[in-house]
Amino acid sequence: MGIACAVVALFGLREVASIAGPVVLALVLVIAVAPVRGWLAAKGLPVWVQVAVPFLVVVLVLLGMVGILTISVAQLTSLLPAYASEFEQLLADAQRWAATYGLGTDVFDRALDAFDPNRLFELAQGLLGSLIGVLSASFLVVVLLLAMCLDAPVTARILTAGEGQRLQLVTALNTFAHKTRRYLIVSTVFGLLSAILDVLALSLLDVPLPLLWGVLALIANYIPNIGFVIALLPPTMLALLDGGVRTMVLVVIAYIVINVVTQSFILPKFLGDAVGLTTTMTFLSLLVWTFVLGPLGAILAIPLSLLARALLIDSDPSATWAQALVSGRLPNR
């Protein structure tokens, strides 16, 4: 019965993904800037200041990222058709290389026959269309963000008042907010570090549009397990078309070194047990929430799973075994 209800709920969310995704994103952003509101409240500043400052912080960050993406995608759309001849030459070189070593060239022959330079222009148009969709979703997120910021002081008081009646649920929601905030802050700091190093490396290697790939690296940092691959593939392919195999190999080496140092060695020491999900649960979260909410679900996979855990597991005193199952830690006896 529980599995059936979960399937119905997930498919229901999938049908309203265009609404549910921005709502969750706005909620996560409000949670991320909640300490700013708490600091302003401790200073005794008016409520409108407590609402306006966190709201403006998030909006300015969103506008900055959208502005960079808009300019970079516009440049990319004008740049892609220019690489049609390079792509054709790359396929021909691969065909000759395969023939030299006695390998089959059927795949390369079909690729050369099917290649149409106009498809690069269609891809560029598709990127612009996707960007318009992002801008529309950003407007909805900003409206929801304003509404949630206005309600945040009242919501905090209601949760505090509910501790006497539903202590377990209130505690679970507070834990969810704390873990989500820590995850976002630490991931953002190290994501920015990785993005800056990626931009510097790409600039030194003369790969086009390094700022776009830096923003992509920052966004992909929130995608568990496969975010690094997503951030690596586009600049690698562009480096191959623009500078050849040597540049492509150098880009791959640079990304791997930066990722290993920042994400594998340093990040776990700061993040610790903030997520509270096993590796398997993290990967399943990525699959499930991407299926439900699309690309936004991949970015919000960890916060969404933490919210589901708070509502369904942590709020239930009898679900200690489930807590151990999803966190990989034995319950305290």
Residue 221, CA atoms < 13 Å, CB-side half-sphere: 30
Residue 221 lies in a domain: yes
Residue found by looking up tokens 């377990």 in the block: 168
Residue found by looking up tokens 């003369």 in the block: 206
Answer whether 286's CB lies under 8 Å from 301's CB: yes
pLDDT at 188: 86
CA distance 199 to 203: 6
Tell me the two tokens of residue 314: 């942590």
Other CB atoms within 10 Å distance of the CB of residue 292: 21
Residue 11 lies in a domain: no
pLDDT at 282: 84
pLDDT at 203: 92
129: containing domain: 16-100+116-156+167-327
Residues 6+ apart with CB under 8 A from 72: 209, 211, 212, 215
Residue 1 lies in a domain: no
Residue 194 lies in a domain: yes
What are the residue ranges in the chain where pLDDT is below 50?
A: 115, 117, 120-121, 124-125, 127-128, 131
Residue 3 lies in a domain: no
- The pLDDT tens digits of the residues spanning 222-256 come to 888 788 888 888 888 888 878 878 888 999 999 99
pLDDT at 121: 46
Number of domains in the chain: 1
pLDDT at 251: 92
Q: How far is CA 203 from the centre of its chain?
A: 23
**pTM of the full structure:** 0.78
CA distance 150 to 47: 9
pLDDT at 266: 66
CA distance 225 to 280: 10
Residue 10 lies in a domain: no
CA distance 99 to 104: 7
Answer whether 188's CB lies under 8 Å from 180's CB: no
User: What separation, in Å, do the N-terminal and C-terminal C-alpha atoms of the chain show?
Assistant: 30
Greatest Cα pair distance in the chain? 77
Which residue type sits at 43? K
Residue 206 lies in a domain: yes
Residue 7 lies in a domain: no
Tell me the two tokens of residue 151: 């309600």
